């Protein structure tokens, strides 16, 4: 039991239910975050909004975390089962000092976690994350006296607030007039209700797979090709124009074209960036593991792409600093600042539908407009010291090329790139390579694996 991983990073906390993530751990992490909020805001009773995804362990983790927040004097408003970007939006909507989400994103059902959010709706920056983690490890909690304890409230308007914000920023009538048929796979996660609300109000013909928020995932929940064969089949069966897949907390979006072909998570950001840059010129930001497609798109619009370490908080921070009009990560995470600085599958879905409606093009035609690359992602279990040794080996093997060490090691070659880094959310090391074709991508992957040994 002691060997079960408890991942604590800039992305929050994740662990295995009944093993590394117990109610006590959840209470302590939430108390650490609440104590941090009190210190940094100077408010004795900071307001924290709390949402969760649909995992069966969610109610238990929520209850434990709320106990920790309340114990240090936070005023908590519960939102129920909602998307992670919805929690971020509600922080602003309710004027709260922070937020917290009980979720393990795309991880399997045995996992759960806690993701803290700042008043800006993003994960705390790395220096603040370190302070929260240090409080957690030291059990340095600023417990409140009984007269400062606050009542726990609730708010049931979250879906409406989020959907309205998206609707107010797209051409609803154009999408309605396009008569688009959509298959949406919500994987029994948190995105089903808001996803259906949005798509119905956009006037699409919706075929909804696994829209109920049971938390019992019908397939492995990470929205990758091997896990979405059912979505592809449904697009073909229903003659739909596009297939969309959310992950359990609905901050990621994957796409299948009108033929049911999985076009991948990387195209979510590329297509959305192409559309946003055309309607609102400006720079973009993406993490180091994201495809060069966004660089090609930015070049077409005479714009810049700022690269950051992996992690939504890192991308959002750079976006704010450089006034980016769009950004995100190649895992299907689109960040559209007019909605919020959090990856958002609802924003991504609306932008894709507006792009289809305003251009009259199919998804496959839109994909053909973007220079194609082959990206290969693999992972392996990580042992202590392994990431440092792997990074050093890759640097030595590719010493003649441009190297970026913001997050692990990224090597940029004339015809591709390599990124080797430890995951923030799982006990694994990721190896990602991209090249113009499959053969070259395989060569780069093989060279990288040989260097690591």
pLDDT class of 2 with cuts at 50, 70, 90: low
pLDDT class of 3 with cuts at 50, 70, 90: confident
pLDDT tens column, 332-346: 999 999 999 999 999
Of 448, 439, 453, 317, the C-alpha closest to 394 is: 448
Q: Quote the CA–CA distance of 309 and 29 in Å, as a whole number.
A: 24
Q: What is the CA radius of gyration of the chain?
A: 21
Residue 75 has pLDDT above 60, yes or no: yes
**Percent of the chain whose predicted confidence (pLDDT) is above 70:** 100
pLDDT at 1: 41
Residue 46 has pLDDT above 70, yes or no: yes
pLDDT tens column, 92-142: 999 999 999 999 998 999 999 999 999 999 889 889 999 999 999 999 999
Look at 79-93, 117-131, 370-384 and tell me which has the smallest mean pLDDT: 370-384
Residue 25 has pLDDT above 50, yes or no: yes
Q: Kindly list the catalytic residues.
A: 105
User: Across residues 241-264, what is the average pLDDT?
Assistant: 96
Residue 79 has pLDDT above 90, yes or no: yes
pTM of the model: 0.92
Residue 312 has pLDDT above 90, yes or no: no
Q: What is the mean pLDDT of the chain?
A: 95
For the chain, domains (ranges, CATH) are 6-156 (3.40.120.10), 161-368 (3.40.120.10), 374-452 (3.30.310.50)
pLDDT tens column, 262-311: 998 889 999 999 999 999 999 999 999 999 999 999 999 999 999 999 88
User: Across residues 25-37, what is the average pLDDT?
Assistant: 98
Are 177 and 101 contacting, i.e. CB atoms less than 8 angstroms apart?
Answer: no
pLDDT at 379: 86
pLDDT at 382: 76
Q: How far is CA 116 from the centre of its chain?
A: 14
pLDDT tens column, 209-225: 999 999 999 999 999 89
pLDDT class of 315 with cuts at 50, 70, 90: very high
Residue 425 has pLDDT above 90, yes or no: no
Residue 385 has pLDDT above 80, yes or no: no
Residue 14 has pLDDT above 90, yes or no: yes
pLDDT at 426: 74
Residue that wins the pLDDT comparison between 86 and 127: 86
Look at 10-14, 74-78, 196-200, 408-412 and tell me which has the smallest mean pLDDT: 10-14
**Percent of the chain whose predicted confidence (pLDDT) is above 90:** 86
Are 207 and 50 contacting, i.e. CB atoms less than 8 angstroms apart?
Answer: no
């Amino acid at each position: 039991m002691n060997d079960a991983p408890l991942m604590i990073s800039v992305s929050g906390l994740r662990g295995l239910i009944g093993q590394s993530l117990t109610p006590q751990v959840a209470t302590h992490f939430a108390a650490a975050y609440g104590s941090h909020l009190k210190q940094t805001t100077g408010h004795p009773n900071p307001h924290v909004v709390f949402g969760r995804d649909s995992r069966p362990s969610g109610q238990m983790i929520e209850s434990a975390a709320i106990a920790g927040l309340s114990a240090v004097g936070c005023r908590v408003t519960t939102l129920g089962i909602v998307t992670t970007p919805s929690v971020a939006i509600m922080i602003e909507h309710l004027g709260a000092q922070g937020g917290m989400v009980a979720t393990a994103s795309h991880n399997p059902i045995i996992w759960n976690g806690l993701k803290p959010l700042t008043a800006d709706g993003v994960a705390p920056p790395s220096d603040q994350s370190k302070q929260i983690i240090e409080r957690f490890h030291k059990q340095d909690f600023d417990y409140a006296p009984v007269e400062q304890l606050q009542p726990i409230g609730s708010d049931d308007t979250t879906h409406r607030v989020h959907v309205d914000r998206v609707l107010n920023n797209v051409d609803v009538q154009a999408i309605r007039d396009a008569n688009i048929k959509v298959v949406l796979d919500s994987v029994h996660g948190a995105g089903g209700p808001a996803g259906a609300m949005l798509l119905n109000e956009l006037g699409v013909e919706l075929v909804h797979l696994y829209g109920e928020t049971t938390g019992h995932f019908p397939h492995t929940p990470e929205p990758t090709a091997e896990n979405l064969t059912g979505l592809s089949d449904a697009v073909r069966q229903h003659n739909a124009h596009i297939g969309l897949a959310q992950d359990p907390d609905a901050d990621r979006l994957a796409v299948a074209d009108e033929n049911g072909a999985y076009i991948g998570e990387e195209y979510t950001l590329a297509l959305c960036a192409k559309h946003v840059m055309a309607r609102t010129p400006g720079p973009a930001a993406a993490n180091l593991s994201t495809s060069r497609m966004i660089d090609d798109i930015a070049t077409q619009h005479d714009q810049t792409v700022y690269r950051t370490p992996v992690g939504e908080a890192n991308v959002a921070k750079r976006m704010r600093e450089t006034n980016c009009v769009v950004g995100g990560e190649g895992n299907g995470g689109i960040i559209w600042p007019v909605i919020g600085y959090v990856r958002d599958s609802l924003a991504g879905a609306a932008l894709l539908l507006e792009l289809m409606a305003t251009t009259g093009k199919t998804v496959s035609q839109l994909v053909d407009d973007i220079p194609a690359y082959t990206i290969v992602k693999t992972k392996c279990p990580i042992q202590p010291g392994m990431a440092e040794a792997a990074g050093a080996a890759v640097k030595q093997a590719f010493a003649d090329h441009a190297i970026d060490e913001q997050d692990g090691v990224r090597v940029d070659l004339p015809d591709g790139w390599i990124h080797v880094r430890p995951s923030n959310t799982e006990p694994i090391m990721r190896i990602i390579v991209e090249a113009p074709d499959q053969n070259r991508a395989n060569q780069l992957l093989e060279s990288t694996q040989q260097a690591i040994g």
